[in-house]
Structure 1
Amino acid sequence: MKPASGRGSNSANVRRYNERLLLQALRRTEPASKADLARHANLTSTAVGSIIESLGKAGLIEYTGRRIEGQRGQPAALIRLDPRGAFGIGVRLDRTGIETVLVNFAGDVLGRSAIDMVLPHPSVVLEIVRRDVEQMLALLSASERERLAGIGIAQPFNLGSWLRELGLPAENFRAWDETDFPDALSRALNLPVFSENDGNAAATAELFYGHGRTCDDFIYLFLGSAIGGGIAIDGDCLRGASGNAGDIGVIPVPPSRLPSAPQPVGQWDILLSRASLNALVRHLHYSGAAADNRVDLQACIEQRLPAVDEWIEDCIEALAPALRATLCVLDVPMVVIDSDIDGGLLDRLVARLRTTMTANAPEARGTPALVRGTFGPDAGAIGAATLPMFYNFSPRAGFRHAGIKTQEVNHAA
């Protein structure tokens, strides 16, 4: 197999790429036989056999039985990823919360810590996160700690921006725009830290462990305190010059007609001021409902308060044309939508969005599949934990230019 362009021409780079290609094939088809993997990766049986032997010695795969049904001759041995082959810790920093998770190579969450709070000063958050990471490390044995691929940080890149639209206090966030938090955490822990904006991180989790196992190209949307996004093309996430490709939240939209919404300074508003959970909370407060935390907010949704339906209509009125415009530029077959909260909200939003986009589709253009995301409220944190996994084990090279605060981990395949 010839090396793909940009991946180097020497045999070591080719072998490393092929190892990662087989790991990706296992994520998508496991359990699989060597013959299955050879067909999927377009490699010879001899090459696959050699790589499988190497991955087995590295502890990244394991045998899980034999295929018996419908087969002649010797039953084929079946292979899958070894969940203990690697581990990642992810930290999601949101304007209204901190979440830390530990995941294994299969994407299973082994431990978590979550705090709902308006994000305090970076020095305070550093101590919280350092404590949480140490708690996650304590869940691993000494040998498992050697298989830690790194720490991932997922956060909005502009934490100090759009606070008026989100109804948050500016004094809490001024220091964040002057702080390199991933670098500070890497120094505090002496561990490799991989950083990405929260939309791209969550989209990476979908690529690695979710819908990306069957679809290489999709738009990803996450409804949190703001609305984040990511773009998956050919099995990798687009980043753009500043790392903000897919940031649908700042697409210009007409001002909201809800009486709870602040009027924009200029002619246009931005999508996150209308399509965000903060906008929903703001409208619930205006309507006299208690929605001071996630439990209250979910209760309001489950009770189907009129204010929730009013916000949904206003959200879809802004989101549908913004998404349609995005689809005009990115011809993808799927849109994945996830949310920080449910209570039936996500199904209602997806159904309403599908109806609106189908009814208003341009001539000769259809509507892509609109599907729920895989991880729900865990998407950002699992996305963060996926960053070191993606960097070390994906055949895609896009994240080589992402924020990595120490040397690349070398125990990977």
Structure 2
Amino acid sequence: MATEKNKSAENHAVKSGVLGTNLEHAKEHNLRAVIDAVRRHGELTRAEITRATALSVQTISNLVAELEQRGLLIAGEPQKAKRGQPARPYRLNSQGGFSVGIQMDHQLALAVLVNLAGEECAKIQKTVARPSADEGIEIFAHLVDEVIEAGKVEKQRVFGVGVAIPGPFDVSGPTGVGPGWVGYPLEDNLSRRIGLPVIVENDANAAAIAERLHGAGKKFDNFVYVFIGMGLGAGLFLNGQIYHGVRGAAGEIGHILVETDGKSCECGNKGCFERYVSLRAAYHALGEEDNHHSSPEHLEKLFEEKDPAFMGWLQEAAEKLRIGILALESSFDPEVIFIGGLLPPKIARALVDLLNPLLPSVVTQLKPLEQRVLLGVSAPSAPAHGAASVPIFYEFNAELYSHSKKPVGRS
């Protein structure tokens, strides 16, 4: 039975994403372009996919049929339009594949298994004590096996493993995790150990990718994701792709100066952004040392009690974040800036609320934005969920297909 469609096909706006190509040898690119279009809109009919990808009607018919056969698309019930035959919408099959995400600091390692919709299927965590890189490989390998087993999925249905590490891994290593990580070939060594593709990203980039795939970021091609962790970083999406920079250190906004002759930073400067906006800055405001600090959950308790020292930090963090947002808008002219990371959701929301009114921006005055700042995902396990999004992002990224040539959805 056809169901009544809310909007007719003629007034249903489909935003163009990745365009396809009608060249025969580019079928795998086109399959990814179809998935990108469906993912961004939630569900689309074949006619809408045709408009979004600029491919021919026959090509779309063949591609959709193949994606259904591969278990990546699911057809919904036909929807009656005002004119013509009922059209069947297609959506991603959330059970069409899975991915593992791992996060680790000097005390805790955590792994999550997610499906194509980013929904958590299983989670495993383990206490660690500043592991070396070789020890970390074994910890990661056991976590991967355990979380896949806990999720009751076959290993061949897992696209890969993402690892979220604080900071620019290729430049300075994951600060504070343990000895021997700087320059360590984590991707190659872990991939050989577990028999799955492995991608390492810093936590800010991983969070930005998750926002792009599963959150409000799917509506934007150009945005900045400010990640508040023990330090401060940003993931940059430019023209629909994550931007790493020449040295892999793009988004190191924690070392932008926001205070003249301010608090001393380990980088050698004074007044760095992350000395005011980070979990570490919050702990320092409470008089706690790096190696003997409380937890994000304790910060939430202090927030609920309106602890004077904590509320003082929150107010100062908002003031400095206001300056940083203005700098980011002037530098990148993004569609929006997301604020997320490891802060408990209540604190993240309060911080975003304290930003108003934002400082006047010359960039946004050229074309006023509906919202300049949005709240992203903020939770202690955010890096792991972000990391799990990374293999999915690269698996279905049509623009990056030329580097892999691997059939979409196949290990």
TM-score range, shorter chain: 0.7 to 0.9
Q: Give the share of equivalent positions with the same residue, in percent.
A: 26
Q: Which residue is 1:155 aligned to?
A: 165
CA distance in 1, matches of 2:378, 2:204: 13
CA distance in 1, matches of 2:86, 2:145: 45
CA distance in 1, matches of 2:24, 2:266: 57
Q: CA deviation at 1:353?
A: 2.0
Q: Does residue 125 of the first structure (1) align with residue 136 of the second (2)? A: yes
Distance 1:66 1:380, change over 3 A: same
Q: Provide Cα deviations, 1:188-211, integer angstroms capped at 9, x if missing partner.
A: 212211122221111111111112
* Secondary structure of residue in 2 paired with 1:245: coil
CA distance in 2, matches of 1:325, 1:30: 33
Return the letter of the residue paired with 1:130. A
Return the letter of the residue paired with 2:33. L
CA distance in 2, matches of 1:408, 1:189: 22
Q: Structure 1-normalised TM-score?
A: 0.83
Q: Which residue is 1:246 aligned to?
A: 251
Distance 1:180 1:65, change over 3 A: same
Q: Which residue is 1:282 aligned to?
A: 284
Q: Provide Cα deviations, 1:100-122, integer angstroms capped at 9, x if missing partner.
A: 11111111111112356664322
| Residues 140-219 of structure 1 mapped to structure 2, 5 A cutoff | 144-158=154-168, 173-219=178-224
| Residues 81-92 of structure 1 mapped to structure 2, 5 A cutoff | 81-92=92-103
Q: CA deviation at 1:34?
A: 1.0
| Residues 103-114 of structure 1 mapped to structure 2, 5 A cutoff | 103-114=114-125
Deviates more, 1:201-210 or 1:365-374: 365-374
Q: CA deviation at 1:344?
A: 2.0
Q: CA deviation at 1:71?
A: 3.6
Structure 1 segments unaligned to the other structure (5+ residues)? 401-406
Q: CA deviation at 1:373?
A: 0.7
Q: Which runs of 4+ in 1 moved over 6 A?
A: 159-163
CA distance in 2, matches of 1:48, 1:293: 51
CA distance in 2, matches of 1:119, 1:255: 35
* Secondary structure of residue in 2 paired with 1:84: coil
Return the letter of the residue paired with 2:390. L
CA distance in 2, matches of 1:351, 1:116: 35
Q: Which residue is 1:403 aligned to?
A: none
Q: Which residue is 2:9 aligned to?
A: none
Q: Which residue is 2:90 aligned to?
A: 79
CA distance in 1, matches of 2:340, 2:211: 10
* Secondary structure of residue in 2 paired with 1:269: coil
Q: CA deviation at 1:232?
A: 0.8
Return the letter of the residue paired with 2:245. G
Distance 1:273 1:160, change over 3 A: farther
Q: Structure 2-normalised TM-score?
A: 0.83
Return the letter of the residue paired with 2:24. S
Return the letter of the residue paired with 1:318. K
CA contact (8 A) 1:291 1:297 kept: no
* Secondary structure of residue in 2 paired with 1:175: coil
CA distance in 2, matches of 1:333, 1:242: 25
Q: Which residue is 2:28 aligned to?
A: 16
1:49 to 61, 79, 82: 61
CA distance in 1, matches of 2:344, 2:145: 30
CA distance in 2, matches of 1:200, 1:267: 24
Distance 1:338 1:309, change over 3 A: same
CA contact (8 A) 1:299 1:343 kept: no
Distance 1:225 1:152, change over 3 A: same
Distance 1:73 1:318, change over 3 A: closer
CA distance in 1, matches of 2:111, 2:383: 10
Q: Does residue 385 of the first structure (1) align with residue 388 of the second (2)? A: yes
Q: CA deviation at 1:248?
A: 1.2
CA distance in 1, matches of 2:402, 2:342: 25
CA distance in 1, matches of 2:222, 2:100: 26
Q: CA deviation at 1:180?
A: 2.5
Q: Does residue 29 of the first structure (1) align with residue 41 of the second (2)? A: yes
Distance 1:374 1:263, change over 3 A: closer
State the aligned residue count.
388
Q: Which residue is 2:295 aligned to?
A: 293
Q: Does residue 101 of the first structure (1) align with residue 112 of the second (2)? A: yes
CA distance in 2, matches of 1:246, 1:255: 21
CA contact (8 A) 1:235 1:396 kept: no
CA contact (8 A) 2:265 2:275 kept: no
Return the letter of the residue paired with 2:165. Q
